[in-house]
């Protein structure tokens, strides 16, 4: 590799790395806010905050890395033009097309990382995150309930106290629960109890030797009941309309499925690394600018191009899942034209034009 190619490679790597770091931090902040909201609503146990944050961060890599690559390369190429380095290279016969080596060294590894994350790591992380939440629903310990402490119920609907919990987290002793809803107070005590399931999702608490008091405090209207055994169904976890059932399915399993939703998910996973390559090729011609031209206006253009491409991919995934477009069309109707456009612009931008010889005309004296 030539010295100038190593210099350009360092410029590309530094810019892409800086942009990727910023985007990852912003993405983690957004994920943290979403997780805190789900914890407050009781959808995710508080003890799973860090593990869920790590697993979900893997799922956003196919979305953040293409943008980081595109914006980072645009800024780096714009800096080369602003500092007249590209003009100097052109004067010695090195055009933008001759910079394909440092560009490929940056684009191809990022595309490989996006492909691995999209096809393997993201489904694995989504499946593992779902399993951890399901396991938490089967155990008081994993759900964050400690023996000997008053704990606030999810959604701030009441308080629960458990004196003892077995090591497996399914049996407990000396329980106290106080809830208030629509102005009515409900207090339940039990000497012991256990958590059991009916089917795969229905959860119940079987309480032994306890009391239940319910009524309206403002009207001093209460009713006291004593029970030997009382079974209470635990409310199911609130379903999230944004949950994607196919997100946790492995890619090998998707290849065996003929459902439209599976076909859409498969094409989506294949599209993200290909989009990364197309954006990498577009960055070099789109980064061209004049010496005194503002470079950060390209960031807005990059966001618009990336945003429109992602929106069209998401629409295409939905259309495939709904059967609006045939499976044979996939997402190629967007990826193929975008890839051809990127190759064409890269070829045109890298073509070195020969200067016409200037013939000096000397006026006759």
Q: Which residues contact 140 (CB under 8 A, 6 or more apart)?
A: 162, 165, 169, 170, 172, 195
Taking the model in full, what pTM does it have? 0.74
Whether the Cβ atoms of residue 265 and residue 119 lie closer than 8 Å to each other: no
Structure confidence at residue 121 (pLDDT):
93
Q: Which segments of the chain does DSSP mark as H helices, in order?
A: 3-40, 49-59, 61-82, 85-91, 100-116, 122-137, 251-256, 260-286, 297-322, 332-349
Round to whole Å and give the CA distance between 176 and 152. 12
221-234, strands of its sheet edge to edge? 150-152, 158-165, 171-181, 184-198, 202-216, 221-234
- Residue 363 scores a pLDDT above 50: no
- pLDDT > 90: percent of the chain: 27
The mean pLDDT of 16-24, rounded to a whole number, is 93
pLDDT 10s digits, 126-184? 989 888 877 776 655 445 566 777 776 655 467 878 888 777 667 888 888 888 777 78
Structure confidence at residue 269 (pLDDT):
93
Q: Write down the domain spans for the chain.
A: 3-136+242-349, 150-234
- Residue 357 scores a pLDDT above 60: no
Structure confidence at residue 142 (pLDDT):
46
End-to-end CA gap in the chain: 55
Round to whole Å and give the CA distance between 257 and 200. 24
Give the Cα-Cα-Cα angle 220, 221, 224 (nearest 5 degrees).
Answer: 115
Nearest to 11 by CA among 111, 131, 103: 103
The mean pLDDT of 204-211, rounded to a whole number, is 84
Structure confidence at residue 294 (pLDDT):
61
- Residue 326 scores a pLDDT above 70: yes
pLDDT 10s digits, 287-316? 876 656 666 677 788 889 899 999 999 999
Nearest to 16 by CA among 302, 305, 346, 311: 302
Structure confidence at residue 314 (pLDDT):
92
Averaged pLDDT score across all residues of the chain: 81
The mean pLDDT of 51-59, rounded to a whole number, is 90
- Residue 199 scores a pLDDT above 70: no
Cα separation values, 201 from 63, 204, 243, Å: 32, 10, 17
The mean pLDDT of 244-262, rounded to a whole number, is 85
Round to whole Å and give the CA distance between 89 and 84. 9
């Amino acid at each position: 590799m030539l010295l100038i190619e190593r210099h350009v490679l360092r410029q590309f790597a530094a810019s892409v790395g800086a942009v990727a770091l910023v985007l990852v931090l912003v993405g983690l902040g957004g994920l943290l806010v979403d997780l805190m909201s789900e914890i407050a609503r009781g959808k995710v146990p508080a003890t799973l905050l860090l593990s869920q944050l790590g697993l979900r961060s893997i799922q956003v890599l196919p979305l953040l890395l293409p943008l980081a690559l595109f914006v980072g390369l645009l800024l780096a190429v714009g800096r080369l033009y602003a500092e007249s380095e590209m003009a100097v290279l052109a004067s010695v016969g090195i055009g933008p097309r001759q910079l394909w080596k440092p560009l490929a060294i940056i684009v191809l590894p990022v595309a490989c990382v996006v492909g691995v994350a999209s096809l393997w790591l993201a489904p694995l992380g989504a499946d593992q995150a779902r399993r951890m939440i399901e396991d938490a629903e089967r155990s008081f310990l994993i759900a964050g309930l400690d023996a000997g402490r008053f704990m606030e119920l999810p959604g701030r609907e009441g308080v629960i106290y458990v004196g003892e919990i077995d090591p497996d987290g399914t049996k407990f002793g000396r329980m106290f629960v106080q809830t208030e809803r629509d102005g009515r107070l409900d207090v339940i005590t039990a000497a012991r109890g256990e958590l059991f399931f009916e089917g795969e999702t229905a959860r119940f608490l079987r309480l032994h030797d306890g009391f239940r008091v319910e009524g309206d405090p403002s009207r001093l209207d209460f009713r006291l009941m004593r029970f030997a055994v009382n079974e209470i169904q635990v409310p199911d976890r609130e379903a999230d309309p944004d949950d994607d059932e196919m997100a946790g399915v492995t890619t090998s399993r998707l290849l065996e499925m003929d459902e439209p939703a599976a076909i859409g998910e498969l094409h989506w996973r294949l599209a993200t690394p290909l989009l990364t390559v197309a954006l990498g090729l577009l960055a070099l011609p789109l980064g061209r600018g004049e010496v005194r031209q503002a470079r950060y206006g390209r960031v807005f253009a990059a966001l618009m191009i990336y945003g429109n491409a992602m929106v069209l991919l998401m629409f295409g995934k939905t259309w495939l899942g709904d059967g609006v477009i045939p499976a044979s069309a996939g997402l190629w109707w967007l990826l193929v034209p975008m890839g051809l456009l990127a190759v064409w612009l890269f070829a045109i931008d890298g073509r070195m034009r020969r200067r016409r010889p200037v013939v000096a005309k000397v006026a006759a004296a």
